[in-house]
Structure 1
Amino acid sequence: MHTSAQFDNKIALWKQEMELPWSKLKYKLVQSNLAKYLGQNQMRVLDAGGGNGLDSVPFAGQGHFVDLVDYSQEMLADARQRAAQVNAQARVATHLADVRDVSKLFPDLQFDLILCHNVLQYIDDVPTLMRAFSGLLKPDGIISVVSINRYSAPYHAAFLDGNFAEAGNLLNSHTSRTKIFDTNIVSYSADEISEIMNSFGMITEKDYGIRCLCDYWGDNERKSDPGVFEQIERLEFALTELHPYKLLARFFQIIARKV
């Protein structure tokens, strides 16, 4: 498991990255996919490893209650500020803790929705975490998991970095390196994670590909052109649920329901 210091030291760089069009697109795709499975009732939402609340604060803005767990004090402070900007600070509770301790944090509470976005690549024991989530999810509750797709790693190395030797090494590896946080990460396929989730009673409704095309077109200057990116965005929304295109997306999203 990685330490909070590794993330705190890179937060400024991460925030810059989140302002880029393709980072914003990722959140738009994830939110659009998830919305298909949510009703109109008020929800209790757990954002596990939720950082500064980019995924969960919008739910608080819609009237839902959010518990956001992260081990970066700076990220949590940013989340509280973000909640205040949408007058939702009373509906966002932040918890400074390791995501692996979620069961201890909420021994008598269950959630309608759990978000686990961009966390698994930093976790040593995914089955144990999924077991904890299953215990915290209400019957018929929804969980959304987003993580780096391991099938994308060789393409990412080849197309974006021009590193063909590394692309070859990644063909049979689950481990790669993230530039922003400068640390090793472990990536999985959607099928691998779905199998684990299903074993704990969180049955996959559907899996999606997030950014099926954008990451493999490495011309950031052209991608920054609003007219060009509008065309990319339309394609991404069309591709997100289409097999086999979603299999090579940079990220996968799994939507599952507790039985």
Structure 2
Amino acid sequence: MVARQLDAQIAAHFEVGRRLRVLDVGLGHGTQALRLARAGHRVTGLESDPERLAQVESAVSAEPEGIRERFRTLAAGGQDTGAHFLPGTFDLVLCHDALPLETDPSTTLAGLARVLDSGGLLSLVVANSLAAPIPHARAGRWDAALAEFDGRDRPLLGAAELESLLERIGTPVENWFGVQIFAAEDDPADDERLLAVEERAGRTEPYRRLAGRLHLCAVRG
């Protein structure tokens, strides 16, 4: 679902055929980064977890030479962008499930915005802390659901809070979507009916505000 939403935003934001300079912060399994490299974009991936980084590098090594040449990795995290890149280095920055919400996300986001070129696109996927009790309650994990309510002394970040934060650092949100509204983690990813429902709900009020994760697409001013 994130890939569908991201591709739509890229198509709307950049001219057809443009080869983008992409930074993926927190590679994870490298799914989005590899997909974009295969599409012809030049990708730099940051990953602080040595095991995950090794897995991605192994996957990249199995790709054709042209893709390997367009893909480089660094052992670093989202807080390290200032040490590695000049301002305006990238056209597209991905930060999917890698933003440290429990500490100070504004510092990390400011660093990501800094390395975006003017007019560049930031794709941010985060857990929706306002909806944290919902998946536990849906699965009958009542103690865990109550614990989420009891932990409300930690910062709460939903769509409105993130939009305000991004506005303050000069990268206002252009579009945002809900992800995992009705779908569970173990639902088949290729079920077109499920994807159709998720896609519709992910851009429709009030359903998108109840999503387990939020996908925000912001533009560097």
Q: Normalized against structure 1, the TM-score is what?
A: 0.75
Q: Secondary structure at the match of 2:219?
A: strand
CA 1:175–1:48: 2 relative to 1, 3 Å: farther
Shift of 1:108: 5.8
More helix by share: 1
Unaligned runs of 5+ in 2: none
Q: Secondary structure at the match of 1:198?
A: helix
Distance 2:116 2:49 in 1: 24
8 Å CA contact 2:87, 2:117 repeated in 1 = no
The reply to whether residue 163 of structure 1 matches residue 141 of structure 2 is: yes
Aligned residues: 214
Alignment equivalent of 1:50, drawn from 15, 27, 39 = 27
Aligned alpha-carbon RMSD (Å)? 2.4
Alignment equivalent of 2:162, drawn from 183, 193, 205 = 193
Alignment equivalent of 2:114, drawn from 121, 135, 138 = 135
Alignment equivalent of 2:183, drawn from 195, 210, 214 = 214
Distance 1:187 1:79 in 2: 32
Alignment equivalent of 2:85, drawn from 93, 106, 109 = 106
Shift of 1:121: 4.3
Where does residue 44 of structure 2 map in the other structure?
Answer: 67
Of all paired residues, the percent bearing the same amino acid is: 24
C-alpha distance after superposition, 1:30-63 (max 9, x if no partner): 1111122222311110101122311211111111
Where does residue 5 of structure 2 map in the other structure?
Answer: 33
Where does residue 61 of structure 2 map in the other structure?
Answer: 84
Distance 1:112 1:124 in 2: 27
Distance 2:156 2:141 in 1: 19
Shift of 1:154: 1.0
Shift of 1:225: 11
Q: Secondary structure at the match of 1:36?
A: helix
Q: Secondary structure at the match of 2:31?
A: coil
Where does residue 127 of structure 2 map in the other structure?
Answer: 148
8 Å CA contact 2:87, 2:114 repeated in 1 = no
Where does residue 75 of structure 2 map in the other structure?
Answer: 96
- Give, as a single letter, the amino acid of the residue that structure 2 aligns with 1:127: S
8 Å CA contact 2:78, 2:112 repeated in 1 = no
Alignment equivalent of 1:232, drawn from 194, 205, 210 = 194
Unaligned runs of 5+ in 1: 1-28, 177-185
Distance 2:213 2:156 in 1: 10
Distance 2:48 2:126 in 1: 18
Shift of 1:174: 5.1
CA 1:143–1:213: 2 relative to 1, 3 Å: same
Q: Normalized against structure 2, the TM-score is what?
A: 0.87
Distance 1:172 1:110 in 2: 42
8 Å CA contact 1:52, 1:77 repeated in 2 = no
Moved over 4 A (4+): 223-226
Which stretch of structure 1 is more off in the superposition, 121-130 or 200-209? 121-130
C-alpha distance after superposition, 1:134-187 (max 9, x if no partner): 110000000000011112211112112x232432342364589xxxxxxxxx76
Shift of 1:65: 0.7
Shift of 1:195: 1.1
